[in-house]
A and B are shown apart, each in its own frame.
Chain A
Amino acid sequence: MSENFFYHALKIDHKICYGCTLCMRNCPTEAIRVRNGKATIYGNKCVDCGECYKVCPCGAVYVAQDDFDNIYNFKYRVVLMPSVFLGQFPEDIRASQVYSVIKEIGFTHVIEVEASTMTHTKLTNQYIYEHQDKKPLISTFCPAVVRLIQVKFPSLVDNLIPIKAPVDFTSIYIRKKLIDEGIDPKDIGVFYITPCAAKIAATKSPVGEDKSTVDGVLNMDTMYNMVLKQIKQHKEYDKSVSANDASSDSILFALTNGEKRLTDCKKSFAIDEIHNVMDFLEKVENDEIDDLDFLELRACDESCAGGILTCGNRFLINDRMTQRARKLADRERNGETSRRKEIYSEEKFLIDNSSVAKIMPRSMMVLDEDISIAFEKLTKIKEIEAMLPQTDCNVCGAPSCHALAEDIACDEAKMSDCVFMQRNLEMRNSLNVEESVEIMKKIWGEEKIKDYVLKK
């Protein structure tokens, strides 16, 4: 198994996984293999996009989260709530009701993550304006996309906009606000409700940062269940709590087009879903698109509304968020609420704390740092590939014949792992049945082979 470069929130429960290969076949970066009958993730290839989680038929892929009771390690417990969270609830549940219920279940403060997006947008536009030489500039909002670029499109790493995510800005802001009120920093715990695994990975081991801005991460589905249960059981809620952190523009930020529509660019694109993103980056890397200014790229279909930890249909979530933004925009126009929020008073402080350290390429494609060894391996891959059947049958435990050829050249698999090869070797008497059963056991696990034989 390759060395782990990143923290990954996506894990596979080997007690549940039965090695069906569905995740392996759907992984966009070919980061999964079946070993001992179980799906196994290559840490340096995984970008935390969550495709495996979506396709797993038995719930073996899970997203590790912090224990909810960790919040009680702090006297002041802040929750950073993305607008997408509010989009989960049916229309008859008001945003202020959700805010209020979150306080009932244990938090002292609630703030919507998108509160800081106006500052984020301001900085993004400024960065684009000042870095025309690095065009096209690519948003770092989606952490799965940042990792995808690091491992698969390393030549585009310098095009990434090195600005913190809205969640970090909002976290820094609320912490400062509470400290300014005289609260001891040690007593403040900031928790983020995440719609996906990539955001967890990004907060646990932030790219270009050494320390996370939040103290813990809570999965959106878990929080949804807790909040909805409370709402169903107690219809009454504290009506004095208002949901007024973000403007109408801000609350759409995490949806597709959310960033693009706020940038001052002539030619920009908003692309969602990881395969679409990869196809487009391929073109960008080849310089096939002229005069490209800005790219908003999101790994999930319908962006964060399609995050793997969201509850419900992504189009309905999108619609509820859009309706909420429309109503809010009306109120802003009528002067019932201001677009300028309290957070603006700290804009300078946020801008001073906005940058991240250089984002480094971490190519997963390099066969070896030494070109002569890499060349040798590449030659070997081509030779092996030519011998393999090109059926991509997955019986070797790799997602494709090409991936098996790469694994063999890198000493992570054997030629005899291929069933076609096994038959050939058996025919030539250089492999006996016992030996091929042993090989199959290594890939598919002792139990599976035994069960299969017994069933027969």
Chain B
Amino acid sequence: MHNEFKVVEGDFANAGKASSDIKKTLKQLNIDNQKIKKIVVAVYEAEVNAIAHAYGGTIFVDLDQEKIAVVIKDVGPGIPDLDKAMTKGFSTASAKVREMGFGAGMGLPNIKNNVDVLEIKTEVGVGTEIKMVVNFLS
């Protein structure tokens, strides 16, 4: 099953659409609550990241009976130092973003803690593609 959501740069007001939709679907499939929570938190975090840092993008959700795979693909600017971005507490978020309660530097590390697979492809000037997978069976 496939579903797509648009991410608009700077549109924090509409953050959470994708994660809420995913949550509803997984509840219908009787997926374990803890697993639902993990993927919802990870997707929400990634969605906010993309809104804060990227020039817009798309969320692709693929679901089967064993797993959910979510890919967030944006159109730039890319992450210059990925290792640094994966460090807890590191943030490049602007003062404006922080004022809104986002940008604590927990994004990528928090995503990593909540998913079974996290793959990040990024190129400065091109964009970032984050793939996360949560297995239902394990």
Whether A327 sits at the interface, judged by CB under 8 Å, is: no
Given A286-B23, A287-B37, A288-B44: A374 touches B29 (CB 8 Å cut-off): yes
Given contacts A286-B20, A372-B65, contact A367 B30 (CB under 8 A): yes
Query: Is there a chain A Cβ closer than 8 Å to B138's Cβ?
Result: no
Q: Tell me whether B77 is interfacial, beta carbon within 8 Å.
A: no
B69 to chain A, nearest CB (A): 15
Decide if A330 is an interface residue (CB 8 Å cutoff).
Answer: no
**B29 in contact with A367 (CB, 8 Å):** yes
Residues of B within 8 A of A375 (CB): 1, 29, 64-65
Q: Which chain B positions have C-beta within 8 A of A378?
A: 1, 25, 28-29
What residues of chain A lie closer than 8 Å to B27, measured between beta carbons?
154, 363, 365-366
Which chain B residue lies CB-closest to A154?
Answer: B33
The interface centre, meaning the residue of A282, A286, A372 with most chain B CB atoms within 10 A of its CB, is A286
The interface size of chain B toward A, counting residues with CB under 8 Å, comes to 22
B10 to chain A, nearest CB (A): 18
Q: Which residue of the partner chain B has the closest CB to A283?
A: B16
What 0/1 readout, one digit per residue, does chain A (253-270) give for beta carbons within 8 Å of chain B?
A: 000000000000000000
Within 8 A of B (CB), among A316-374: 361, 363, 365-369, 371-372, 374
Contact A368 to B30, CB < 8 A, known contacts A286-B23, A379-B1:
yes
CB within 8 Å of A: which of B20-45?
20, 23-25, 27-31, 33-34, 36-37, 40-41, 44
Question: How far apart are the CA atoms of A382 and B41 in the complex, in Å?
Answer: 24
Q: How far is the CB of A221 from chain B (nearest CB, A)?
A: 37
Instruction: Report the Cα distance A374→B29, complex, angstroms.
Output: 5
Q: From B29, which residue of chain A is reached at the shortest CB distance?
A: A374
Question: Cβ of A286 and Cβ of B33 under 8 Å apart?
Answer: no
Question: Are B16 and A286 interface neighbours, CB within 8 A?
Answer: yes
Q: Are A369 and B30 in contact (CB under 8 A)?
A: yes
Residue numbers in A under 8 Å from B23 (CB-CB): 285-286
Q: Which of B19, B30, B37, B44 is close to A366, meaning CB atoms less than 8 Å apart?
A: B30
Number of chain A residues close to chain B: CB under 8 A: 22
Q: Check if A73 is an interface residue, CB within 8 A of chain B.
A: no
Question: Looking at the complex, which one of A361, A365, A371 makes contact with B65 (CB distance below 8 Å)?
Answer: A371
Q: Which chain A residue lies CB-closest to B45?
A: A287
Q: Are B30 and A288 interface neighbours, CB within 8 A?
A: no
Q: Does A155 contact B (CB under 8 A)?
A: yes
A285-B40 in contact (CB<8A): yes
- B31 cross-chain contacts in A, Cβ below 8 A: 371
Q: Could you tell me if A374 and B30 are in contact, using CB atoms closer than 8 angstroms?
A: yes
- B57-98 near A? 1/0 per residue, CB < 8 Å: 000000011000000000000000000000000000000000
CB-defined A-B contacts under 8 Å, sample of 23 = A282-B20, A285-B23, A285-B40, A286-B19, A286-B20, A286-B40, A287-B41, A363-B27, A366-B27, A366-B28, A366-B29, A367-B29, A368-B30, A369-B30, A371-B31, A372-B65, A375-B1, A375-B29, A375-B65, A378-B25, A378-B28, A379-B1, A382-B1
Q: Which residues of A pack against B, CB within 8 Å?
A: 154-155, 282, 285-288, 361, 363, 365-369, 371-372, 374-375, 377-379, 382
Q: List 3 tightest A-B contacts by C-beta distance, closest first.
A: A155-B33, A366-B30, A365-B27
Q: Which residues of B contact A (CB under 8 A)?
A: 1, 16, 19-20, 23-25, 27-31, 33-34, 36-37, 40-41, 44, 64-65, 136
Q: Other CB < 8 Å A-B pairs besides A287-B41, A375-B29, 12 of them?
A: A155-B36, A282-B20, A285-B40, A363-B30, A365-B27, A365-B28, A366-B28, A372-B65, A375-B64, A375-B65, A378-B1, A382-B1
